[in-house]
A = this chain, B = another copy of it.
Amino acid sequence: MKVVIIGGVASGMSAAARLRRLDEQAEITVYEMSEHVSYANCGLPYFVSDVISRRDNLLLQTPDALWNRFRIKAKVQHMVTAINREAKTVEVKNLATGKITNDTYDKLVIATGARPRKLDVPGIERALWLRNVTDADSVKQALQDAENKTVAILGAGFIGIELAENIRHIDIPVTIIQRSNSILGQFDPEMVQPLQAKLEKHGVKIILNAEADHITKDQVVLKDGRKIDAGLVFTAAGVDPDNSLAKAAGLKIGSTGGLWVDDQQRTSDPNIFAAGDAVEKHGQLTGEQTLVPLANLANRHGRLIADVIAGREVRAHNATGTVILGAFGHAVGITGLSERAAKKAGIAHEIIHIHPNNHAGYYPGSKRLSMKVLFDPLTGKILGAQANGEDGVDKRIDVIATAMHGGLTIDDLMDLELAYAPQFGSAKDAINIAGYVGNNVFNGTTPTVQWHQLEAARANGAQVVDVRSAGEHGFANIPGTVNIPVEELRDRLSEIQVEDVVVYCQVGQRGHIATQILKANGAKVRNLDGGYLTWAAGMESLAH
């Protein structure tokens, strides 16, 4: 059997190596158009600033090593220019020599990845991007050589922000220009506001609700006329599936623009498989097709293709989507649906926000961790989670991603037995607290109001009471709210507007206690979810 693989990075290389392990006889050829196979593309932004200083570290395999260990023929600087499905051949151009040849296949794997989204802006041709190691070399050189050492990045997605952090590490001024009203559109705004503050604190200028009108030789001119210094410009406005080859071959393209595959990664041609950023995935939560350009799924589905080609009866799991980003010591992570995405998909949801510690507060170095969890109001099934903080974000996101894979409910989070010693977690871990808080919302013990619903509640006549201490209230509060510390509440019930009252504290815990006290005394009461901290982050995100 002869298998040709187009693209030698994540999914392509996973398919190739796995196939060799399952089939010692198969003839396996990988065509990769860049100069390297199996490079660490998620490391490229860190190479630019020398956080990753050794270029070798980015190169996980070489064609020689692949041949010696796996008998895989890996041909770099070889671009497949056409697929002939009837003849079962591919046309291949040697980019070094220009020579064109044809190769035959029994099975073909398309692993062409994604490419930076093209922006329709005059002057964009001088913009740089980061797709492979050669790009990273050029960017590094350009940053060194630039006379006008200022950078503008078009897009506040993952790559844009990682790039901004690394360019700040080498002390070059950076401006990020973002079309929408918040950074990292996968997240809800109040959950990325602390990251935005951190970026700004470290000198990254962020301009939201702005679009480039045109690019001059040393500036980006915005539609509103503002001019941004930019000796170098980067496009980082997301990626699009690189499926021109598949399109030309007449393979079915999905509604998302990604290459369509079945649950065995088979395209509309039974002899052609595909995986990675070029293909669309079936979304676990929405039930719809979706683009999830993530390395984890690319590797997993590449391996699965090999299993299928080798005759195994295996099927891909639907995609949830889990991502994390760290910059300047602050991390944000998400798995599953955001509030924004749930609303867009018309999926009913309850929401909780919590602000526990990453580990026991009594042990040195504990840090605040903020989490948001969405769950189904009827079944309690977890729909998604977001987290931010200096430490422990990855762990909590991974736990929730695993819980979602298992179909667990918000109540199950109470019962998870997680590793506790004071330097690692808490007797009631953040995850358990999410369960406790969610349980109270799920079964109606504590009705809540979201930060963005507070104004409407007040407009409807609700009294808003700060149940924190007088000192906390004096330090920062929601304007126009009265202060009755939870400890005094039982003695000051006469000051409460029992028909409609919203209570709040710093993170929501004392508000929960106050809610119970007031409920027991006949009030119609709601707790401000996530307390002052969530409200303040939300309002700050609106202020941009």
Interface of chain A residues 333 through 379 with chain B (CB within 8 A): 333, 335, 360-364
Complex-state Cα separation, A513 to B40, whole angstroms: 22
Chain B CB within 8 A of A326 CB: yes
Point out the residues of chain B lying under 8 angstroms from A521, CB to CB: 24
Q: A interface, how many residues as a size bin?
A: 35 or more
Q: Is the CB of A417 within 8 A of B321?
A: yes
Task: Count chain B CB atoms within 10 A of each CB in A298, A412, A418 and give the residue with the most.
Answer: A418
- A300 contacts the other chain (CB 8 A): yes
Q: Say which residue of B361, B397, B420 sits within 8 Å of A324 (CB atoms).
A: B420
Query: CB distance A417 to B331 under 8 Å?
Result: no
Bound together, the chains give a CA A300 to CA B431 distance in angstroms of 12
Q: Let me know if B395 and A394 touch, CB within 8 A.
A: yes
Kindly state the separation between the CA atoms of A429 and B46 in the bound complex, as whole angstroms.
20
Which one of A57, A296, A323 has the highest number of Cβ atoms from chain B below 10 Å of its Cβ? Answer: A296
| A222 proximal to B (CB < 8 A) | no
Asked if A421 is an interface residue, CB under 8 A from chain B, the answer is yes
Q: Which residue of B lies closest to A443 (CB)?
A: B312
Give the distance in Å from the alpha carbon of A362 to the alpha carbon of B61 in the complex.
12
Question: Least Cβ distance of A12 to chain B in Å?
Answer: 13
CB contact under 8 A between A513 and B397, given known A296-B420, A360-B40, A362-B43: no
**CB atoms of B513 and A429 under 8 A apart:** no
Contacts of A402 in B (CB 8 A): 399, 402-403, 406, 408, 416, 418
Choose, from A63-71, A136-144, A229-237, the stretch at the interface.
A63-71
| Given A298-B427, A362-B40, A364-B52, residue A319 in contact with residue B417 (CB < 8 A) | yes
Residues in B neighbouring A517, C-beta threshold 8 A: 24
Q: Is A295 an interface residue when CB atoms closer than 8 A count as contact?
A: yes
- Is the beta-carbon distance between A422 and B46 smaller than 8 angstroms? yes
Q: A43-B363, A513-B70 are in contact. Are A421 and B520 (CB under 8 A)?
A: no
Residue of B nearest to A489 (CB): B69
In the complex, A162 Cα to B148 Cα: how many Å? 56
Query: Known interface pairs A57-B362, A403-B406. Does A398 touch B418 (Cβ–Cβ under 8 Å)?
Result: yes
Kindly list chain B residues whose C-beta atoms are within 8 Å of the C-beta of A429. 296, 398
**Contact pattern, A 18-49, Cβ under 8 Å of B = 1, otherwise 0:** 00111111000000000000001011001000
Question: Within the complex, what minimum Cβ distance (angstroms) separates A100 from chain B?
Answer: 32
> Which among B10, B323, B326, B510 is the interface contact of A423 at CB below 8 angstroms?
B326
Asked whether any CB of chain B lies closer than 8 Å to the CB of A463, the reply is no
Complex CA distance for A22 and B445, rounded to whole angstroms = 8
Q: How far is the CB of A433 from chain B (nearest CB, A)?
A: 10
Partner among B20, B300, B431 whose Cβ is within 8 Å of the Cβ of A432: B300
CB distance from A160 to the nearest CB of B (A): 14
Tell me the smallest distance from the CB of A510 to a CB of chain B, in Å: 8
CA–CA, A408 to B405, complex, Å?
A: 8
A320 within 8 A of B: yes
Do A299 and B516 touch (CB < 8 A)? no
Is A303 located at the chain interface by the 8 A CB criterion? yes
For A499, the chain B residues whose CB sits under 8 A away are: none
Which B residues touch A298, using CB under 8 A? 427
Q: Which of A71, A320, A417, A421 has the most CB of B within 10 A?
A: A417
Q: A40-B422, A323-B419, A402-B408 known; 7 other A-B pairs, CB under 8 Å?
A: A42-B422, A52-B362, A69-B510, A322-B420, A326-B423, A331-B424, A401-B419
A–B pairs, 19, beta carbons within 8 Å: A21-B445, A21-B513, A24-B520, A42-B422, A43-B422, A52-B363, A69-B510, A295-B427, A296-B428, A299-B427, A300-B415, A319-B417, A323-B420, A398-B416, A398-B419, A401-B416, A402-B416, A405-B408, A405-B415
A interface with B by C-beta (< 8 Å)? 10, 20-25, 40, 42-43, 46, 51-52, 57-58, 60, 68-71, 162, 294-300, 303, 317, 319-326, 331, 333, 335, 360-364, 393-395, 397-399, 401-403, 405-408, 412, 414-425, 427-429, 431-432, 436, 445, 486-487, 490, 510, 512-513, 516-517, 520-521
